[in-house]
Structure 1
Amino acid sequence: MKNIPENLQTHLTSDATNLVKCLLVKLSNETEIGFTESDIEFEYEGVIYKPFSGFNLDKLNYRLNANQEAQIYTCFDDFEISQADIISGKYLDAEIEIFSVNISNLSSGKIILQTGFVAEIISDKEKFFFKIEGFASKLKKIITQYYSKQCRAKFGDAKCGKDLEDYKYTGSVTESINNYSFKDTSREEEDYYFNYGVIKFLSGQNLGIKYDVRKFRDEVIELLLPSKFSIQTGDEYEIYVGCDKEFSTCISKFNNAINFRGEPSVPGSEKLLRGF
């Protein structure tokens, strides 16, 4: 149940109301920015609320449970929000308060509709969405890692420590088999060397498109999913070595056991049930 000040409650029971919705954004540097769907600018609790033509809260789905979520859809505006600010992450994790006030009598208080933080920002050219989540949702975030026998790092990331450029090879298609696979007779690497890798076409109809590699055997590269366009003889590509995240592979293939992000010696559930 919303807490409504007495003076504002009286206004709500009148025949005509002057309620307007407002959005207060509190950035991590404690800067406060106010927006309103009203067509006039006003000051409330020390913050200037500016009209925002692209700002519309009418379609917000308010929920009063602990995991309340909402989305704000609007457009970039010249005076406050820029695309550069969105890309830089200026508004990410900003605290949000959405409320209504009586524009004709601001001293009567406010009705808080929703509070939370900006969990995600999705932009598309001149439009963007703010995904707002309730503060309780932060309690659901995983702050540690599960143990696993396999490595949890992504091959080539900072935790792995390997430079992908050291495991990049180039080649060209010598025989097109289908949209799943092709042969490159110049490949001299051992079978399965490129399993779980990534391939990017440098020419042909698939120019610039990346695909996951399922298997490499007998000079044939097989994709995990079919290519969007036909693979033609002569198509050039670059391919990165893959990793199956096993400890033995980390040792024998990459000599990188020191950075292995798994616990291969932890007993599995079957061994635990047997009591070792």
Structure 2
Amino acid sequence: MRTLPTALASHLAGDATTMCHCWRVTRRDGIVLGFTEHDHVLTFDGTDFLAASGFQAADSETASGLSVEAGEVSGGFSSVAISEADVIAGRYDGATVEVFQANWQAPAEQHVLLRVQEIGEVVRAGGAFRAELRRLTHRLDQVQGRIYGRRCDAVLGDGWCKVDLTDPAYRGSGAVVAVLSQTQVRVSGLDAALGGFYRQGVCRFVTGANAGHAGDIEDHCVGGDGVVLSLWLPPPLPLAVGDTFTVTAGCDKSFGTCGAKFSNILNFRGFPHLPGSDFAFGYADGDTVHDGRPLYE
């Protein structure tokens, strides 16, 4: 049950109200922005809520329980609010949104937090955006904890894996010398690495339009025409010759790669000797030995 401030409750009990919605967006990089549908800037709870964004909420439904209902908010791009470049770069993906209702005549004393949501899908069209607001219960649909499998479930270089990715042996840097497509570039600076060394690794752009953006590497090929990197997804903005980047080695999560490439078998987080589905769904027959011996030596 939500408890309203006394002054706000008295205002809502009156014959006429002066209420509006406000949104506080906390991006994953820590930047906090405030927006309101009112026509003036409102300040409360340590945040300035800008009116220049043209923010407007669509109708939404709220249900009890753990349902994953979603709302929507829309607005126009603004140099003082949300820029199109930031949206393209994914800086608002997964951001937390606090939805307030406030009396615009006295916002500091008369406001209430209605709900906390996360930004889901963002759609751009005609100089404006439309963002889906998801209830936090959507996280319950995501896999939590670990899953038994033959391959490692750690992220290369994290606290489970413990491979030191600051080691120069696992890092490289270079520059784009030719743009073959928006997911494939010919690069310099990686001639010393064997083909495939950076496959399934990470490429982070240092300069250029995509500076700060990191993408997964699909393939790393070395041939007579030079070194070619292929990305799984195109960067938010077009690639250009001269863009510089850093790369880290990739891992296919297999037991063999963990030992041969990283000498890290003791920290392998998979179960390479786990019987497969063929064994699990098999049945006893005269051609198979069932005497309790280990399945793998």
TM-score normalised by length of structure 1: 0.53
Tell me what 2:281 maps to: 270
User: Residues 272, 72 of structure 1: CA spacing in aligned structure 2 closer, same or farther, 3 A cutoff?
Assistant: farther
- Matched AA of 1:35: F
Task: Give how far 1:20 is off.
Answer: 0.8
- Matched AA of 2:82: I
Tell me what 2:73 maps to: 72
Task: Give how far 1:114 is off.
Answer: 2.1
Q: In the aligned structure 2, how far is the partner of 1:273 from the partner of 1:134?
A: 49
Q: In the aligned structure 2, how far is the partner of 1:162 from the partner of 1:87?
A: 21
- Matched AA of 2:16: A
Task: Give how far 1:146 is off.
Answer: 6.8
**Which consecutive residues of structure 1, in runs of 5 or more, have no partner in the other structure?**
150-155, 167-255
Residue pairs, 1:1-276, within 5 angstroms = 1-52=1-52, 54-66=54-66, 67-143=68-144, 144=146, 147=149, 158=200, 163=219, 265-268=275-278, 269-271=280-282
Give the aligned length.
181
Q: In the aligned structure 2, how far is the partner of 1:272 from the partner of 1:138?
A: 38
User: Residues 93, 267 of structure 1: CA spacing in aligned structure 2 closer, same or farther, 3 A cutoff?
Assistant: closer
Kept after mapping to 1: 8 A contact 2:44/2:107:
yes
Task: Give how far 1:73 is off.
Answer: 2.2
User: Residues 162, 88 of structure 1: CA spacing in aligned structure 2 closer, same or farther, 3 A cutoff?
Assistant: closer
Q: In the aligned structure 2, how far is the partner of 1:103 from the partner of 1:23?
A: 14
Runs of 4+ residues deviating >3 angstroms: 60-66, 143-149, 161-166, 256-259, 261-265, 272-276
Task: Give how far 1:262 is off.
Answer: 11
1:63-120 C-alpha deviation (Å, 9 max, x unpaired): 4543342221222123111111012221122111011011112243323222122233
- Matched AA of 2:75: T
Kept after mapping to 2: 8 A contact 1:3/1:112:
no
User: Residues 148, 110 of structure 1: CA spacing in aligned structure 2 closer, same or farther, 3 A cutoff?
Assistant: same
Q: 3-state SS of the aligned residue for 1:271?
A: coil
1:248-269 C-alpha deviation (Å, 9 max, x unpaired): xxxxxxxx9957x998951445
Kept after mapping to 2: 8 A contact 1:63/1:69:
no
User: Residues 31, 62 of structure 1: CA spacing in aligned structure 2 closer, same or farther, 3 A cutoff?
Assistant: same
Q: In the aligned structure 2, how far is the partner of 1:56 from the partner of 1:116?
A: 16
User: Residues 142, 273 of structure 1: CA spacing in aligned structure 2 closer, same or farther, 3 A cutoff?
Assistant: farther
- Matched AA of 1:83: E
Task: Give how far 1:147 is off.
Answer: 4.5
Kept after mapping to 2: 8 A contact 1:95/1:117:
yes
Q: 3-state SS of the aligned residue for 2:23?
A: strand
Q: In the aligned structure 2, how far is the partner of 1:136 from the partner of 1:162?
A: 32
Q: 3-state SS of the aligned residue for 2:282?
A: helix
Q: 3-state SS of the aligned residue for 2:85?
A: helix
- Matched AA of 1:85: D
- Matched AA of 2:139: K
Q: 3-state SS of the aligned residue for 1:106?
A: coil
Q: In the aligned structure 1, how far is the partner of 2:116 from the partner of 2:5?
A: 18
- Matched AA of 1:105: A
Q: In the aligned structure 1, how far is the partner of 2:64 from the partner of 2:53?
A: 28
Tell me what 1:251 maps to: none
- Matched AA of 1:84: A
Q: In the aligned structure 2, how far is the partner of 1:162 from the partner of 1:35?
A: 39
Q: In the aligned structure 2, how far is the partner of 1:129 from the partner of 1:80?
A: 14
- Structure 1 vs Structure 2: percent identity of aligned residues? 21
RMSD over aligned CA atoms reads: 3.7
**Which consecutive residues of structure 2, in runs of 5 or more, have no partner in the other structure?**
152-195, 202-216, 223-253, 258-269, 291-297
Task: From the CA coordinates, give the structure whose radius of gyration is larger.
Answer: 1
Q: 3-state SS of the aligned residue for 1:108?
A: coil
User: Residues 49, 146 of structure 1: CA spacing in aligned structure 2 closer, same or farther, 3 A cutoff?
Assistant: same
Tell me what 2:234 maps to: none
TM-score normalised by length of structure 2: 0.50
Q: In the aligned structure 2, how far is the partner of 1:272 from the partner of 1:33?
A: 61
Kept after mapping to 1: 8 A contact 2:20/2:102:
yes
